[in-house]
Amino acid sequence: MQLFYQPDIMKGSHFLTEEESKHCIKVLRHSVGDTLDVVDGSGAKFKVRITEAHAKKTLFDVISHQRKEELPYYIHIGIAPTKQIERTEWFLEKAIEIGVDEISFFFGRHSERKNINLERMQKKAVSAMKQSLKYQLPIIKLYQDLPSLISHVPEKQSKYIGYVDFDNPLQLKEAAQAKENSIVLIGPEGDFNEEELKLALSKGFKKVGLGQSRLRTETAGLVACHTLNLINS
Amino acid sequence: MQLFYQPDIMKGSHFLTEEESKHCIKVLRHSVGDTLDVVDGSGAKFKVRITEAHAKKTLFDVISHQRKEELPYYIHIGIAPTKQIERTEWFLEKAIEIGVDEISFFFGRHSERKNINLERMQKKAVSAMKQSLKYQLPIIKLYQDLPSLISHVPEKQSKYIGYVDFDNPLQLKEAAQAKENSIVLIGPEGDFNEEELKLALSKGFKKVGLGQSRLRTETAGLVACHTLNLINS
């Protein structure tokens, strides 16, 4: 199945963007009368029929739509972008494939990378969503530092911080519960510094391990995401 | 911590290979008398002292050694190489980081890719092992097709085949047990064909799902690997 993306379909935008139109008409060679599946990234999928097969702005009529089932849990990963940005893009793609509701990037005190192209990440997210046949695009945000991310975490979210600490036997697998609205923070290559850890603990975050292995930042993010999915599956 | 690799250290090869020597002496600027950590990829780590700091063949004396704890489980992933080989390399790196004992590549009937550079994969495996501070290199093998892989699976291995089948509610998470010696088969982009599935079922493999999402080959491989690690952690 091939999905197309039009975020404003509910607001009456019954056309494909230039990029999507080109792919639809030039590459897949669709024509008037063909039906397509279009998602809006907010949890709805539409069956539409092409009324004008234009390679820059394909028009369509909506035939029917369905909403994705509301899930009883919410997975939020707060992660510091990696030095090699491909690793963060990889995390983003894989997390969306496996299932994630929100990704918050932040620059840690030990982060070597102090910038990220959020627009590029959004684009990557759209293709990952389409590829994995999902209707919902995760919320993707950027915070300049950990305190600013933490100040935006809702009180009712269960809060975890991935931290390698051999004195602390608590694993995310044991700490997290099914049907939780939860956030896991993953530090940069140089990990969180003491101040950041202290702040998180003072704001109700629990330190958790992510298994027995030393993991890179992007692997830790994915492992946290998959662990929460498994607990809820 | 920085690990070096010398597979034949037990057999008396008390030197670093050319590549490792160069990294040790030229990049890290080690000199005579410095101590290093060297692993043999078979579960042992050695503390050694440099006796000749040669950039092509660094010599050392072994001071002490320790063996890694034997784990009560064994994780074997049989996976078809992906069309874009980077995705398979990524799977290899991440599986080693998370923990895997054996990776068997095979070409499925629907595989678009019909070749793989095993030597390159071995090299990638060595760097992933060193990076994640492990002492053990997974066994990496190649089979020309699924029947040949299946004929080499030991009888006592618990056998699973990842297969998207909405009539079959069994998930790997439920099917697999802790302390098992297990294998999970992951098909190529075009999935297994009916004949391959039939063969696997006739040889005692159980069809399992890997969650609610449609996953790419390499993501499915990693999800299977992480699921088995979580069950055993």
pLDDT of residue B9: 95
Q: What is the mean pLDDT of residues B134-139?
A: 93
CB B7 within 8 A of CB B139: no
pLDDT of residue A167: 75
* CA dist A214 → A108, A141, B153, B229 (Å): 19, 27, 30, 14
The amino acid that residue A21 corresponds to is S
Collect all residues of chain A within an 8 Å Cβ-Cβ radius of residue B222. 94, 222
Residue with more model confidence, A169 or B159? B159
Nearest CA in chain A to B214: A132
Which segments within A26-148 are labelled E, that is strand?
35-39, 44-52, 59-67, 74-79, 102-106, 139-143
Tell me how close the Cα of B98 comes to any Cα of chain A, in angstroms. 6
Measure the CA angle with vertex A149, ends B226 and A94; round to 5°. 30
Confidence of residue B58 (pLDDT cuts 50, 70, 90): very high
Q: What percentage of chain A carries pLDDT values higher than 70?
A: 100
Yes or no, beta carbons of A229 and B211 under 8 Å apart:
yes
Average pLDDT, chain B: 94
Yes or no, beta carbons of B213 and A132 under 8 Å apart:
yes
Q: For residue range B178-198, what is the model confidence (pLDDT) as tens digits?
A: 999 999 999 999 899 999 999
pLDDT of residue B221: 98
Q: For residue range A30-55, what is the model confidence (pLDDT) as tens digits?
A: 999 999 999 999 999 999 999 999 99
Q: What is the ipTM of this complex?
A: 0.87
Yes or no, beta carbons of B211 and A227 under 8 Å apart:
no
pLDDT of residue A68: 85
Yes or no, beta carbons of B211 and A173 under 8 Å apart:
no
Q: What is the mean pLDDT of residues B20-28?
A: 95
Instruction: Answer yes or no: is pLDDT of A168 > 80.
Output: no
Confidence of residue B56 (pLDDT cuts 50, 70, 90): very high
Yes or no, beta carbons of B132 and A214 under 8 Å apart:
yes
Rounded CA-CA distance B5/A161 in Å is 33
Total Cβ atoms within 10 A of residue B87? 18
Tell me how close the Cα of A186 comes to any Cα of chain B, in angstroms. 16
Collect all residues of chain A within an 8 Å Cβ-Cβ radius of residue B225. none
pLDDT of residue A169: 81
Q: What percentage of chain A carries pLDDT values higher than 90?
A: 90
Q: What is the mean pLDDT of residues A122-141?
A: 93
Domains of chain A as residue ranges with CATH? 3-67 (2.40.240.20), 74-232 (3.40.1280.10)
pLDDT of residue B69: 84
Yes or no, beta carbons of B171 and A233 under 8 Å apart:
yes
